[in-house]
Amino acid sequence: MKYYFAADIGGTKTAIGLYDEAYNEIYHGKILTEPSEGCEKLLDKLYGMAGRLFEEYPVAGAGIACPGPLDVSRGVVNNTTTLGWYNVPVRRLFSEKFGVEFALLNDCNAGAYGEYVVRNCKNMAYMSISTGIGGGIIVDGKLYNGQGNAAEFGHLYAGGRHLKCGCGREDCLELYASGTAVESEYFRRTGKRLSGVDIAELANIGDEAAVSIYENVAGYIAEAVVDIQKILDPELVVIGGGVAEAEPFRNAAAFQKIGQYGVKVAFSDQAGKQVLLGTIHYIRDFMEIRGIGANETTQEVLRQ
């Protein structure tokens, strides 16, 4: 049996997982990401957590998923504001430390791969609604990258009240339907600064502002999903991420109307693990393309 290690480095938490080649979860762990502590500290924690797994299991390959922008081909985190990481050669650092092939990939792309492993649709899209909004596109069973920046679903046109986005565009989806948007809209309406989790709980017990905000968010997302369908006509659009896991979002009436346009939408049931799963899928593909055979681990190949 072969084993694969994956890490999903996010702005608020970092998850790691060990899977076997049949995608069974052998281990799952989480730590808080503290961007203020800097890159070195998080890397140390990760080395520690990964180290124990690498000692115990013969790991055949490994991958790290991270918010972009990344230089995937060189395995370098270019400039990830949410983490405060700049030009960190993640792939080289980990490969040297553990003697195993490490892949670096965009977390939303990994999420798309993870859903692909489970759903197995030829053409599909994955939208992650979290602090920000991102996504990934699978075309003919492969990740579609365009020129490297495809599936920027957070920056689709959403209409609205002429808010200016950091990307330069006006009225991007992310400004109205991300976790950040939920929090700032609740503040705008009530003067209270609460976390998305708290606002979701308030919506669950009938808080009027909270209910209305999640309804609106679902409406914006529904329009974006229909836009994705009009362009890509995929077999399925999967929606994941923290906001999408909130009950008031899932129960919003706005999703009912998507069905009218022949769009097949599903909520992710991976509870955030689709990124780890997709990272495993990616590293296995990557090793296959590099011709790392079924009977040798990357450790052995690197030693040759």
For position 292 contacting a copy of itself by CB under 8 A, the verdict is no
Residue-wise burial string across 227-255, b where 16 or more C-beta atoms lie within 10 A, e elsewhere: ebbeebebebbbbbbbbbbbebbeebebb
Residue 92 or 119: which CB sits closer to a copy of itself? 119
d(C-alpha 145, C-alpha 143), whole Å: 6
For position 152 contacting a copy of itself by CB under 8 A, the verdict is yes
Q: Taking Cα atoms as reference points, which of 221, 234, 220 lies closest to residue 263? A: 234
For position 256 contacting a copy of itself by CB under 8 A, the verdict is no
For position 71 contacting a copy of itself by CB under 8 A, the verdict is no
Distant-in-sequence, close-in-space partners of 39: CB < 8 Å, separation ≥ 6: 83, 84, 85, 88
Binding residue for a copy of itself, selected from 150, 163, 194, 209, defined by CB under 8 A: 150
Residue 125 or 246: which CB sits closer to a copy of itself? 125
Residue 86 or 157: which CB sits closer to a copy of itself? 157
Task: Give, as ranges, the residues between 117 and 136 that touch a copy of itself (CB under 8 A).
Answer: 123
Q: Taking Cα atoms as reference points, which of 195, 191, 194, 158 lies closest to residue 177? A: 158
Binding residue for a copy of itself, selected from 29, 69, 84, 145, defined by CB under 8 A: 145
- Taking residues 163 to 192 in sequence order and writing x for each that binds a copy of itself by CB under 8 A, - otherwise, the string is ----xxx-----------------------
> What are the strands of the beta sheet with 85-88, ordered from one edge?
70-71, 76-80, 85-88
> What are the strands of the beta sheet with 236-240, ordered from one edge?
142-144, 133-139, 124-129, 236-240, 265-267
Residue 134 or 179: which CB sits closer to a copy of itself? 134
Task: Give, as ranges, the residues between 201 and 230 that touch a copy of itself (CB under 8 A).
Answer: 223-224, 226-228, 230
**In the complex, what is the shortest distance from the CB of residue 5 to a copy of itself, in angstroms, rounded to a whole number?**
30
**In the complex, what is the shortest distance from the CB of residue 154 to a copy of itself, in angstroms, rounded to a whole number?**
8
**In the complex, what is the shortest distance from the CB of residue 129 to a copy of itself, in angstroms, rounded to a whole number?**
15
**In the complex, what is the shortest distance from the CB of residue 243 to a copy of itself, in angstroms, rounded to a whole number?**
19
**In the complex, what is the shortest distance from the CB of residue 125 to a copy of itself, in angstroms, rounded to a whole number?**
8
**In the complex, what is the shortest distance from the CB of residue 240 to a copy of itself, in angstroms, rounded to a whole number?**
18
The footprint of a copy of itself on this chain (CB under 8 A) covers a number of residues equal to 33
Q: Are strands 76-80 and 85-88 parallel, antiparallel or unpaired?
A: antiparallel
For position 112 contacting a copy of itself by CB under 8 A, the verdict is no
Residue 40 or 140: which CB sits closer to a copy of itself? 140
Using CB under 8 A, list all residues that contact a copy of itself: 123, 137, 139, 144-153, 155-157, 159, 167-169, 223-224, 226-228, 230-235, 260-261
